[in-house]
Amino acid sequence: MMVEISVFAGAGQLAMALADLVAERLRRTPTLVLGLPTGRTPLGFYRQMVRIAREAGADFSRATTFNLDEFLGVGPEEPGSYRQYMERHLFRHINIDRRHIHFLDGAAQDPAAECERYEAEIRAAGGIDLQVLGIGGNGHIGFNEPAGSLVARTHVVRLQLQTRRANASLWGGDVTRVPRRALSMGMATILHARSVVLMATGAEKAACVSAMVDGPLTTRMPASFLQLHPEVHVMLDRAAARGLRRK
């Protein structure tokens, strides 16, 4: 497989290296179209990205962003929304042109139409240059959960309990408040990005990381489809890399 793997001593070093990588891509291509994740893992990355923007002037003014997913029924102003997560951790702190921020609207009246709108916006932007991803403990990417079949394009998903638990911190630590459904880029939406960087940290990700890299392609491990992508960089800390056959 075409996957490049980097193992870092810790999550802090990984976050710095990923922020440096994005800053470098941004220098080379000021109009970079970035796909962005949420969750716990990217927090360090966003912290470093903000630091680089402040200290080294990383320039987002001509860049465009598309986030992977959003909770269904949740508007962009709601504190638990991914949109607010991104405001808190990145958008508010960088010089991105607000018109270039693209997000799925979880409160859209017609979710199917909203998904189509998002696909059209990605096409109109010329596609995603660099998609940054995390991986769920169950092997999901975006919110493409393990299942008997996977969906190609942006669609409504039902979240697994494990995924809702992982998101409880956005909802006052109360898993019952985490929405049961979400909107997510589909597998093909993600795989069409020109390059992909996936980050994973911690021992609880070791099993899905090794299944993603060394296991069979299976809809039960959506991340395994990244094996088909020509340009994937997997960034891990030592704990997440523990199960890999080659390091």
Nearer to ligand PGA, 60 or 82 (CB): 82
Catalytic residue among 67, 102, 114, 140: 140
Q: Which stretch binds ligand PGA (CB under 6 A): 25-33, 34-42, 115-123, 228-236?
A: 34-42
Catalytic residue among 138, 155, 229, 233: 138
19, 41, 52, 122: which one contacts ligand PGA (CB under 6 A)? 41
Q: Which stretch binds ligand PGA (CB under 6 A): 37-45, 90-98, 116-124, 147-155?
A: 37-45
155 is catalytic: no
97 is catalytic: no
Residue 102 near residue 66, CB atoms below 8 Å: yes
69 is catalytic: yes
User: Closest residue to ligand PGA, Cβ-based?
Assistant: 39
Is residue 199 within a helix (H) or strand (E), and if so which, with residue range? strand 195-200
Q: Which stretch binds ligand PGA (CB under 6 A): 25-33, 39-47, 122-130, 215-223?
A: 39-47
Residue 140 near residue 219, CB atoms below 8 Å: no
Contacts 24+ apart (CB under 8 A), 113-122: 114/183, 115/153, 115/154, 115/155, 115/156, 115/183, 116/154, 118/66, 118/154, 118/183, 118/185, 119/153, 119/154, 119/189, 121/66, 122/66, 122/189
Angstrom distances, CA of residue 94 to CA of 56, 101, 199: 12, 12, 22
- 90 phi/psi in degrees, rounded to 5: -140, -65
Q: How far apart are CA 8 and CA 5, in angstroms?
A: 10
Nearer to ligand PGA, 94 or 166 (CB): 166
95 is catalytic: no
- Span 114-173, contacts to ligand PGA by CB under 6 A: 134-136, 166
Q: Should residue 80 be labelled a site residue for ligand PGA when binding is judged by CB under 6 A?
A: no
Q: What does the binding site for ligand PGA look like in residue numbers (CB under 6 A)?
A: 37, 39-41, 134-136, 166
Which residues carry out catalysis? Answer: 69, 138, 140, 145
